[in-house]
Chain A
Amino acid sequence: SQQGEEDPQALSIQEGENATMNCSYKTSINNLQWYRQNSGRGLVHLILIRSNEREKHSGRLRVTLDTSKKSSSLLITASRAADTASYFCATLYTGANSKLTFGKGITLSVRP
């Protein structure tokens, strides 16, 4: 299976702390994307990082990509209770005909 794997499966932190989530994948990619899903809702796109990029920022989000290790990390700084959600990484594999492959997700709980 080419499915990416997120780590940890669940994360619980205090409001104000930073949250770091990791994603590993198996073969070469065109890009890697992070999505958020609030309970009972659809997914919301957070950030996309291309295979030739190493780091990207968007507000309180910072994503890194290490293609040599086939891994990515998502850092949420100064977390808020509203960040409580499931986070998924999705990879677009080279030659995948635009099909995104999602991991099983990380459940983040931010305690107020």
Chain B
Amino acid sequence: NAGVMQNPRHLVRRRGQEARLRCSPMKGHSHVYWYRQLPEEGLKFMVYLQKENIIDESGMPKERFSAEFPKEGPSILRIQQVVRGDSAAYFCASSPDFVGNEQYFGPGTRLTVT
């Protein structure tokens, strides 16, 4: 049973470009969470999705950031017109049906904006 997969592992973008981060949850998991981690910081919650639904996006910046989890395919975190402050590690986690239990994390995507 493969774990949570994220790609790419490293992504370099110039200011103003778009960044697309992908997350495939563990098999059988229907809940996906995105977090952002800055150096020497803990994880900051961004968004919680179930298939085709955004459940909680209270941690998402109001502009430039969006997330989806379509019926088929991976969850996507999209950052438009990236700025240097977007440079961070972005982690995806998934959990099975019962919310509130442990979350299984992917290896993260390290985004660098030059």
Contacts and interface: CB of A to CB of B under 8 A. Distances in A.
Contacts of A99: 33, 45, 48, 56, 58-59
A88 B48 contact: no
Interface in B22-41: 31, 33, 35, 40-41
Contacts of B31: 98
Interface residues of B, number: 27
Interface string A30-51: 1101010000011111001000
A3 B44 CA distance: 10
Contacts of B104: 45
B43 interface: yes
Interface of B: 4, 31, 33, 35, 40-45, 48, 55-56, 58-59, 91, 93, 99-108
Contacts of A98: 31, 48, 55-56, 99-100
Given A41-B108, A43-B105, 16 more contacts: A42-B4, A43-B43, A43-B91, A45-B103, A48-B101, A88-B42, A88-B43, A97-B55, A98-B48, A98-B99, A98-B100, A99-B48, A99-B59, A102-B43, A102-B44, A103-B42
B56 A97 contact: yes
A30 B100 contact: yes
B56 A45 contact: no
A31 B107 CA distance: 24
Contacts of B35: 102
A101 B56 CA distance: 13
Contacts of A88: 42-43
A42 B44 CA distance: 14
A107 to B, nearest CB: 9
